[in-house]
């Protein structure tokens, strides 16, 4: 049974590890090896741990974290949707999106927006998001990555 719950600071390392694993598993071909290595370099930072504690939700099976999603920190912002490699293709990403859509509706947000990785844009389209125009996402670490800004009315 999959449970979706708010993350705690103690979940930060698991969230960080799933992020790194998912990028390496799914972004091959959409981004250069150099970009992927720069994107996933380093260790868990206090900044990331704070972000996880304040804005992340996790999909868990028992004590095992299988996926992450972030709602915020800006209003209407969805991000950090990552699923552990062994759990990909099981509907966990869709469940996480549906969960935060419900939270956003409860908060009175009119829409959700995100910057999709090039490989994830088709998934978000299947979830009802629209957007096709490539742009450049500037990561907090300073790395510039191609993305597809997307939006979904709630």
In a domain, 142, yes or no: no
Between 91 and 38, the higher pLDDT residue: 91
Cα–chain-centroid distance for residue 66?
12
pLDDT in tens, 126-144: 999 999 999 998 877 788 8
Predicted structure pTM score = 0.94
Half-sphere exposure in the Cβ direction for 137 (13 Å, CA): 20
pLDDT in tens, 16-44: 999 999 998 888 888 888 888 888 899 99
d(CA 80, CA 39): 13
- Per the structure, the complete domain to which residue 26 belongs is given by 3-109
The domain that contains 97 carries what CATH number?
3.40.630.30
Average pLDDT over residues 52-67: 97
């Amino acid at each position: 049974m999959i449970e979706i719950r708010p993350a705690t600071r103690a979940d930060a390392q698991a969230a960080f590890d799933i992020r790194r694993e998912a990028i390496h598993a799914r972004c091959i071909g959409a981004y250069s090896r150099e970009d992927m290595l720069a994107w996933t370099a380093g260790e868990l930072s206090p900044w990331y741990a704070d972000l996880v504690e304040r804005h992340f939700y996790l999909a868990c099976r028992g004590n095992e974290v299988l996926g992450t999603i972030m709602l915020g920190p800006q209003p209407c912002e969805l991000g950090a949707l990552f699923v552990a490699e062994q759990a990909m293709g099981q509907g966990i990403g869709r469940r996480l999106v549906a969960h935060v859509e419900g939270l956003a509706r409860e908060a009175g947000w009119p829409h959700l927006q995100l910057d999709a990785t090039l490989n994830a844009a088709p998934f978000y389209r299947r979830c009802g998001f629209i957007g096709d125009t490539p742009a450049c996402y500037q990561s907090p670490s300073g790395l510039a990555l191609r993305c597809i800004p997307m939006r979904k009315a709630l």
